[in-house]
Amino acid sequence: MFILIVLLMSISLIGIIAVQLYWINNAVESKKAQFKNDVQKSLGAATEKVNERERAEFEKKLKSFVDVKGFADKAELKSFLIEQIDTVTKEKITLGSTFLEENFKLPADFLDNDSIILKRITGKKDFSIATRYKSAENLFPTIDVKKYSFIKRYTDLEKSYMEDAFTSSKSLKPIHDRISNNVLNRTIKEELIKRNINLDFKYGVYSADGLATKLKSGYYTINTKESFPYPLFRDTEGNTSYYLNISFPRENEHILSGISSILLLSLFFIFIIIMAFSSSLFQLIRQKKISEIKTDFINNMTHEFKTPIATINLALDSIKNPKILGDDAKVLRYVEMIREENKRMHSQVENVLRISRLEKNQIDLNTETIDLHDTIEDAIRHVSLLSEDRDGKIETHLEALESELPGNQFHLTSIVVNILENAIKYSEGAPKIEVYTESTSKFFIFKIKDSGIGMNKSVQKQVFNKFYREQKGNIHDVKGHGLGLAYVKEIVDKHHGTVFVESEKGVGSTFTVKLPLI
């Protein structure tokens, strides 16, 4: 069930994050498409303005020259006659038109040292004659009027000669003489601002062959992935020889800024979901671990209590024996045994209650100035019998120059005793323990080094956790409840100090306690 819950939660979290990322990606792509569309519209409007501006300036200059300064090198009055038969009404339709054809030679000063021949055609008069015919033999060949589209009205002829002159002048000028960088830059900027694109941009005009022109903003090179191309100076048929390329260095920032609020909100909720999932998973694992530790603790406590209770029962049964009652020495021996076992159980219960009260801040650590060297020597005396019973030896190297600090005498003595007892219990053969002290300007440091069985890295990370004991299957080689080092850490933390262990499997362990002098 635990694995199933974790699996379902993981799948749900991955699914939610995937949906959110998909939505964010779609929003960004939509903004990019909108931005591209706005840029294309802006470039279209800008190039149209540039084209219209060039045409207007040329027509104004040309019209002024022809009307005021110009004269025709050659003029000729021409006429055309078109006849067509309408077989339904049996009428012959005759269309006639006359126009004046004038040739002008534009001098060099008009087109910057270039010259062209301009032909102006001006309509004079149109007329038509309709005649009814009598028989089919008198029919004229049918003529399609569309084939004679070169006969135009006055306005069309006026536009024609203007267009011819404009096209000829464009082909003679380089593109940088047709428009300046300042005008092009200003026109592009105006059109972009109209569509709320207030971004710095770079542009360059390139020929259809990919050759750069002098029209560009500083140093510019084409980047096909980041630039937006648009045709410039298209002719009447939509063809062009030049392309305007524009790019935006801060394009991505502009796109993201449009959805920044929603994007941040989405990322915030994703973060909350991840944190909630991680917290839930952590709590599940923690509760599972605590459940296992408590089960192990209850089993250990039951086993630890079972032995003294059995011993007490045997002692009481022995005292009841009439043979024993008459032997005062044996009675006193059994009474002493009962007292020791009872004391042992009381000590175990007291350890559990003490660690519980510490966690709930129910123990008031009254501090006073104490000498840690004296405290360490007192603790060594407490465990000396245990060490001597196994032919062990405890050596001291008390080299700290400053050993007085504010602390609780009872609890500091207890933590030293706990560490020393562990060093004795987890030593194979005769325990060999060394105690070192040293001091700095701010801290008193003592180390307790043993030559016991040692610990691997994974055990070192958990050794100060409450109820933790290194497992070897279902067997504990050394009795205990995993509370001693948890108590040590709690007391050291209460004194604003730190404790850590360095160990190697099969070599031994070194516990280091660092306490502030002030």
Question: How far is 469 from 478, CA to CA, in rounded Å?
Answer: 10
Output phi, psi for 143, to 5 deg.
-115, 130
The residue among 199 and 116 whose pLDDT is bigger is: 199
Compute the average pLDDT of residues 45-70.
73
Of 177, 174, 185, 199, nearest in space to 46 by CA: 185
Does one domain contain both 503 and 376? Answer: yes
Between 276 and 260, whose confidence is greater?
Answer: 276
Q: What confidence category does residue 377 fall into, taking pLDDT thresholds of 50, 70 and 90?
A: very high
pLDDT of residue 337: 83
> Is residue 420 in a domain?
yes
Q: Are residues 165 and 49 in the same domain?
A: no
Predicted confidence (pLDDT) per residue in 214-253, tens digit? 888 777 777 766 788 888 877 666 677 788 888 888 887 7
The domain boundary, picked from 172, 202, 233, lies at: 172
Residue 59 lies in a domain: no
Distances (CA, A) of 36 to 48, 50, 262, 310: 18, 21, 21, 88
Residue 163, pLDDT score: 62
CA–CA dist 480, 296 (Å, integer):
11
Q: Which residues have C-beta within 8 Å of that of residue 345, sequence separation ≥ 6?
A: 305, 308, 309
Residue after which a domain boundary falls, among 110, 142, 172: 172
The crossing angle, in degrees rounded to 10, of helices 181-194 and 2-64 is: 130
Residue 60 inside a domain? The answer is no
pLDDT at 363: 62
* Same domain? 304 vs 417: no
Alpha helices in 397-481 (DSSP H): 409-425, 457-462
Give mean pLDDT, residues 430-449: 93
65 lies in some domain: no
- Does 376 score more than 90 pLDDT? yes
* 138 lies in the same domain as 117: yes
Q: Which of the pair, 284 or 151, is modelled with greater confidence?
A: 284
Total domains in the chain come to 4
Residues 504, 424 share a domain: yes
pLDDT for position 416: 92
In a domain, 63, yes or no: no
Q: Tell me the per-residue pLDDT of 491-509, one tens digit each, with 9 for 90 and over.
A: 898 899 999 999 988 889 9
What pLDDT does 166 receive? 63
Between CA 35 and CA 45, with CA 41 as vertex, the angle to 5 degrees is 145
- Environment class of residue 323 by beta-carbon count within 10 Å: exposed (0-12), middle (13-18) or buried (19+)? exposed
Nearest alpha-carbon partner for 98 in 128, 141, 143: 128
Q: Could you tell me if 122 and 148 lie in one domain?
A: yes
Bridge partners (DSSP) listed for residue 444: 439, 515
Best-predicted range by mean pLDDT among 30-44, 81-95, 97-111, 245-259? 30-44
Q: Mark whether 439 and 464 lie in a shared domain.
A: yes
Q: Are 102 and 89 in contact (CB under 8 A)?
A: no
Distance CA 431, CA 422 (A): 10
Q: What is the pTM of this model?
A: 0.43
What confidence tier does 333 reach under pLDDT thresholds 50, 70, 90?
confident
- Provide the CA 56 distance to its chain's centre, in angstroms: 53
Instruction: Summarize pLDDT for 138-158 with one digit per residue, the tens.
Output: 333 333 333 333 333 434 444
pLDDT of residue 128: 44
- State mean pLDDT over 8-21: 85
Identify the top-confidence range among 86-95, 137-146, 154-163, 249-258: 249-258
Question: Would you say residue 182 has pLDDT above 80?
Answer: yes
Question: Do 377 and 508 share a domain, yes or no?
Answer: yes
Residue where a domain stops, chosen among 172, 192, 214 = 172
Distance CA 449, CA 427 (A): 11
For helices 251-258 and 2-64, give the axis angle rounded to 10 degrees: 120
Please tell me the predicted confidence (pLDDT) of residue 76: 59
Task: Check whether residue 143 and residue 29 sit in a common domain.
Answer: no
CATH code, domain with 294? 1.10.287.130
pLDDT at 86: 64
In a domain, 448, yes or no: yes
Instruction: Verify that 167 and 237 share a domain, yes or no.
Output: no
In a domain, 452, yes or no: yes
Residues 253 and 266 grouped into a single domain: no
Range of weakest confidence among 3-17, 251-265, 500-514: 251-265
More confident residue, 57 or 229: 229
Domain-located, residue 507: yes
- Residue range of the domain that includes 302: 260-357
Calculate mean pLDDT across residues 129-142. 40
Question: What's the burial of 383, exposed, middle or buried (CB within 10 Å: 0-12/13-18/19+)?
Answer: buried
Euclidean distance between CA atoms 293 and 468, whole angstroms:
7
Q: Are residues 180 and 32 in the same domain?
A: yes
Range of lowest pLDDT (116-130, 271-285, 359-373): 116-130
Task: Give me the mean pLDDT over the 426-446 stretch.
Answer: 91
Mean pLDDT of 152-177: 58
Mean pLDDT on 87-110: 62
Longest CA span, the chain? 172
Measuring CA to CA, how many Å separate 364 from each of 370, 401, 408, 418?
Answer: 17, 29, 10, 20
